[in-house]
Amino acid sequence: MFQQFYSGQNFGTGESRHYVINWKPDGTGEYRIATGIFSANWAQDYHWNNSLTTVSVGGAGGGAASPPPAPTPGAGAIEVWWPTDGANVSGVQPLKVMLQSRSVDTYRMFWDVGGGKIEMFNSAEDYPHKEAWVDYSGWNWNGSGPYAVTFSAFDLDGATLAQKTVNIFVR
């Protein structure tokens, strides 16, 4: 179990915040991320989401990954807003993508670099899309890159809808 909390935070009505956590999993498997908002001294629970998202952590290698199933016909293409192919990124920045011709609540989107799929959340900022905030400061295992970021969309039953990869560089 890993826990991180931020004290002394104040929110206005309708305000949202983005927080970045750095966590190292104990091993392969699927991990659940929960989130909560509490009053001072944990006296009142204002919001609790016991399954905000899941993170799948793959093994250290040794075998070829099985290919993804063929996309569902007519599913639409993944449109990557940011980072675009060839973009230079640094610090904390969002990944922003959407599946064309689909409402964001009808599919799940994951991003992956190096074998662990991480689910993205729904965002209505600017236009409905999927989003994930990423801290690129630790992306140094391949120098400045390129890093292949693969986005995978699945319907709510788990069938593959589309995949798209962009190559980015870290400065």
Mean pLDDT by 10 residues, the chain (171 residues): 71 67 72 77 75 66 45 72 94 93 93 88 90 92 95 94 96 90
Q: What is the DSSP letter of 26?
A: S
Distances (CA, A) of 91 to 34, 71, 126, 171: 24, 33, 22, 9
- The pLDDT score that the predictor gives to residue 62 is 42
The verdict on residue 121 lying in a domain is yes
In a domain, 145, yes or no: yes
Residue 13 lies in a domain: no
pLDDT score of 103: 92
Three-class SS of residue 39? coil
Q: Could you give the number of structural domains in the chain?
A: 1
Query: What is the CATH classification number for the domain harbouring 111?
Result: 2.60.40.10
Question: What single DSSP character describes residue 40?
Answer: G
Write out the residue range of the structural domain in which residue 96 sits: 78-170
Q: Are 23 and 31 in contact (CB under 8 A)?
A: no
